[in-house]
Amino acid sequence: MDGYNGDPLPGVRFRIDRIDDTGNVLIGEHVTDANGRIELTGLLGSFNITQLDVPNGWEFDAQPIRIAHVNAGAPTLVTFHSPRMGSLEITLADEDGNPLSGGRFEVRHQNCQLVSEFVTPVSGMISIPNLGSGWCLP
């Protein structure tokens, strides 16, 4: 589901493995439907559920692997929260609001490791899409 507002997130791919005495046994890979759900029936026991892929513009859940214990008589619900990727727009202008080109900006990860350097074009504006959480601009 959408980690921001809780809306269903279709197109997320998961791997489901049964946990038994010999290790993990693949049950299959499944993709969430238009309602952001995967519904499996006839399974009992313990399972590893691994988030394998998310749609463009989304991040993996902070905990992409979960263990689910499925018992008879009651549904087992496992929920993953995939946050949206963010974007950053930088505008460089003079005192009168006129765009300035040639301005250099560094984008750094939260730990301040350099990700990339950008230079403003004639429009004075830089747009950086699909940034994962934890980014900062010093």
CATH class of 1-84: mainly beta
So what's the pLDDT on residue 128? 85
So what's the pLDDT on residue 48? 95
Domain coordinates of the chain in residue numbers?
A: 1-84, 86-136
Cα–Cα distance, 11 to 34 (Å, whole number): 8
Q: How does pLDDT run across 59-73, given as a tens digit for each residue?
A: 898 899 999 999 988
Q: Is the pTM of this model over 0.85?
A: no
What residue ranges of the chain have pLDDT lower than 70? 3-4, 134-138
Task: Check for a shared fold between 1-84 and 86-136.
Answer: yes
* C-alpha distances in Å from residue 71, one per residue of 2, 20, 38, 46: 27, 15, 17, 9
CATH class of 86-136: mainly beta
